[in-house]
Every structure is written in structure tokens, then in C-alpha cells.
Amino acid sequence: MNEVLTLEFDGGSRGNPGPAGIGVVVRAADGTALVTLGRAIGVATNNVAEYRALICALEQAKKLGGKRIVVRGDSELIIKQMRGEYRVKHPDMKRLFDEAQHLLHQFDEAKIEHNLRQKNELADKLANLAMDRKGEVTDVNGEVSPPRVSASSGSGKTSLFDREDARARKPVSLVQTTAPATAKRFICPTCDCEMHLIRPPNIDRSKLAEFTCACGSKLRPG
């Protein structure tokens, strides 16, 4: 699998140390979320939770067969330690750092970047839901605003629809196409919009997270 995967991770603790959780998102090159995972990890500090989230993200990318990755987290400490800019002194952190480095070096290409907190919202939400539910979660049940669809993705231009009225009307289609008979159709049970999967990416589709509509509901096969 040669496409570049983007790994977003976050970890948190309520008490530091206290009940902790991690959130992981693995995205395809086009931004599609292939994995969304939140997990409660028991009692831990914030920094331990961040490392546990990073390790989990790397493991999920390996399961997908990823060879080239970009890793993004909003913990400046963890990012700079992984880059070798800061030393790791605490023994618990050193063990997790070594494990993360071992996984990182199994990829053909790996880049580590600091992510602004507002751009790490989904991973943060997954971590907090996992702490709330004291278990594992794979979606946020519409509690996080989905990525906005714009005429120029990432350009900052006004989106074609806002979350407030996404449930009341169907999203505007950017391109009018006719799906082939072999396309897999997904229907939103809330707003009745449809998505046609015409050409899947070159990965095992069984390993993908379920598709989520812009209104936040899960899409079911039609």
C-alpha cells in the first residue's frame, strides 16, 4: 500500500494521573477516516496516555498495510521527544518512547508533525468518549462536526452545507455522475442522502471504519 496515511492521535487523563483514554484516527490520502478508535486505558498520566495513543495509531496503520505515514499529535512534548529534540527522562515514558520508535522505524517513510488542537478534534473526542464510557468506541455518534465539504478542500472557503441544517436537507452534490451497476450504495437513515462507492482505494475494505454521513449518522448499505 503506497498511499500516504495520516495518523492523528490524542490522549488524556482526568486527574493526571487518573482515569485515562486515547483517541486514534487513521486517514487515507484523500482524508477519508479509515480507522476511528477510542479506548479507555485505566489510570495513567496525560503523557502516558499520549504515548499509548501514538503507539495504537502506529499499530493500526501497520494493520492496514501502510508503508508511508504522516503522524500528527497536539502534544508538543511527545512530538519533540519523538523527533529527538527533547530527552526522555522518566522510566515509564522511556519504555513507551522506545516502543513507539520501534514501530515508527518499521515504516518505509515516516514524518512527525505537531498538530494544532483544533485540528485534532476527532481524536480528542474519541479519547473523551472512551473515558466517559469506560470502554472502547469506534465512532462519535454525530457528536463531532464532520469535515466540511467545500469547492476547494482545505482552502478555507465557505462550505456547501453547515451542520445545523445537514439533517434538514440533502448535501449539494459537487459533480453529477451516474454510478455503475457495480457501485456499492450507502443510504443515510436520517437525511436519506446516498453515497456510491465506485472505486475503493487499494486496501482491505473490511478494515475500514463505517461510513458516516455529514449529518453524523451511520450510512447503511442500500
Compare 178 and 170 and report the one with higher pLDDT: 178
Q: What is the pLDDT of residues 78-90, one digit of tens each?
A: 999 999 999 999 9
Average of pLDDT values for 137-149? 57
Mean pLDDT of the 25-33 span: 97
pTM of the model: 0.65
Of 9-23, 42-56, 71-85, 141-155, least confident by mean pLDDT is 141-155
Q: Which domains does the chain possess?
A: 4-137 (3.30.420.10), 161-222 (no CATH)
| Whether residue 61 has pLDDT greater than 70 | yes
Give tens-digit pLDDT for 78-130: 999 999 999 999 998 999 999 999 999 999 999 999 998 888 999 999 999 99
Please report the pLDDT score of residue 23 as a whole number.
98
Check whether 36 has a pLDDT greater than 80.
yes
Angle between helices 46-63 and 76-83 (to 10 degrees): 60
pLDDT exceeds cutoff 90 at 207: no
Q: How high is the mean pLDDT of the chain? A: 78
> 49: how many CB neighbours lie within 10 A of its CB?
29
Phi, psi of 26 (to 5 degrees): -115, 125
